[in-house]
Amino acid sequence: MENNFSQRIEEYIISRVIFDEVSKELKSCLKKTNREILREYGNRYRLDKTEEKGSIKLSEELN
């Protein structure tokens, strides 16, 4: 019984470590993806502050 319990504890720890590492990697990928999306969006659009009442409007950048 002791051996079985130890084995289950070991399996849990290993699965938890793997889960933590995969979670870190996924978070890193998501952050990278968000940065890439923002960069692409920033390249296609600019802030146009010339609208009435001082509002900020996104408009397509002329190339």
- The pLDDT tens digits of the residues spanning 15-59 come to 999 999 999 888 887 887 777 777 777 666 655 544 444 444 444
52 sits in which H/E element: none
CA distances to 42, 49, 51 from 54, in Å: 21, 7, 6
Half-sphere exposure of 11 (CA within 13 A, CB side): 6
pTM of the model: 0.45
Q: How confident is the model at residue 61 (pLDDT cuts 50, 70, 90)?
A: very low
- What is the C-alpha separation between 58 and 48, in angstroms, rounded? 6
> Which residue, among 26, 60, 22, 55, has the nearest Cα to 43 in the 3D structure?
60
Residue 18 in tokens: 């793997």
